[in-house]
Structure 1
């Protein structure tokens, strides 16, 4: 648990896709640049399979095209590294409030 949230990490997009994760109470924090699939490609793939969960994208690179694509994908937030803990927690709280049936953790 971290700040009241259960946190799971995956070493790659493929390991996330192969997991038996229950998508009903998930908020994804995805880096734009992943080794094989980009975070945007991974999220598009998930959406094409019916997964509908809030997503926060992060990157160390300023790229207007990526920001626009993230917005089109329905991103809750687009965080530029380095970002502060409060920026991340605010984005997660917003994501949880957008997820039907999911409450933000007590805090």
Structure 2
């Protein structure tokens, strides 16, 4: 994303962490341009941001109920417990 594409009010995404937000300020610091996002209050290098329009692509969101999230949480918890029981000998050995 070029510096010209980043303007106050633009919605952008920082792909390394998936952080998305609206640009509230653009500043030059030590010769580089940074954009402050409203979602975190942090500055991100403009050349590492992508437009949220491009990031969204073909992503479709479906409505999910609280029960759906609870069910998914319980399934993941059960999977993690199973992996822990079968996949480790519960020792705390360190390498070296």
TM-score (norm 2): 0.21
TM-score (norm 1): 0.19
Larger radius of gyration: 2
